[in-house]
Structure 1
Amino acid sequence: MASSSYFLLVALFALASWKAIASDPSPLQDYCVADNSSRVLVNGFVCKNPMDVKAEDFFLAAKLDMPRDTKVSKVGSNVTLINVMRIPGLNTLGISLARIDYAPLGENPPHTHPRATEILTVLEGTLYVGFVTSNPENKFLSKGEVARERGWPVGLAR
C-alpha cells in the first residue's frame, strides 16, 4: 500500500513539474524573408536562402509622413499599404500597416480583415468611424484618438 501511494505521489509530482515547464517551442529560424520570385505557393511566401538576405529586405523608405493625393480615388481616400510585398522581412509575422489619407467627406469603403484586426489613429482632422451592423456604434474620432476596428468599418473624414 505504501509503495502504491509513493508511486502515485511521484507520478503527480512529475506531471505537475512537466506542466510548469511547458511552453511554446523556440522558432526554427530568426527570420523568413519572403522570396517573391518563387513560384511555390504556401501559406505565406517561401523563405529566401539566408545567404541571399540583404538589409534592404527589412527596410522601406515609404515617406509615410507625407500626405497622399486623395483625388486619385472615386471615394476620396488614398491608401498606402506596407506589407510583406513591400518589406519581405515581414514574412510569417502577420504584420502590416496602412496610411489612409481622406479628402473632406472622403470614405473608406466597407472591407474585412480575416483573422486580423486594425487600429485607427487620427493624426489630423476628424474621422467618423462606424461599423456595418444592425446596431451601429458610430463615433467621431479627433486628432490623437485611437479606436480598434472590428467587423466592417466605414470611415468618413470631415
Structure 2
Amino acid sequence: MRIHPRGTEFLVVLEGTLYVGFVLSNPGPNMKNKLFTKILHPGDVFVFLIGHIHFQFNPGKTKTVAFAGLSSQNPGVITIANAVFGSDPPINDDVLTKAFQVEKKDIDYLQSQFWWDNN
C-alpha cells in the first residue's frame, strides 16, 4: 500500500488480472474510511487520485502486465508499511501498540520484516 502525495496515478492492464483498490480516509464526520476495489482485466483502466492510500495485487497464478502513469514528474511515494514499521530509528513501541491496538510482540514481528531498502 502506498500514497503519492503530489500526483494522480492511472493504471491500464494489458495482460492478466489485477485486484486494485483505494481507501477514502478521514472523509468526514458522518462517513467511514471506505474501501473501493475492482478486479481489472486486459483493457481496463483505473485511477488513483492524489493522496489516496492504494494498492495493486495480482490475484492469479499467471503474470500480469500493466502500464502505470503519473500526473507529475515528481509524484512522490510513501510506502505505508515501510514508513511505519521500517523507520530508522524505529517509532516507539508504545506509540505503535496504541495506534494499531496490538501487542508489542506483533509490532516487533512487523518491524523485523522491514530490514531491506526497497528504494
User: How would you bin the TM-score normalised by the shorter chain?
Assistant: 0.3 to 0.5
TM-score, normalised relative to structure 2:
0.38
Asked which structure has the greater CA Rg, the reply is 1
Which one scores higher on RCO, CA 8 angstroms, separation ≥ 6?
A: 2
* TM-score normalised per structure 1: 0.29
The structure richer in strand per residue is 2
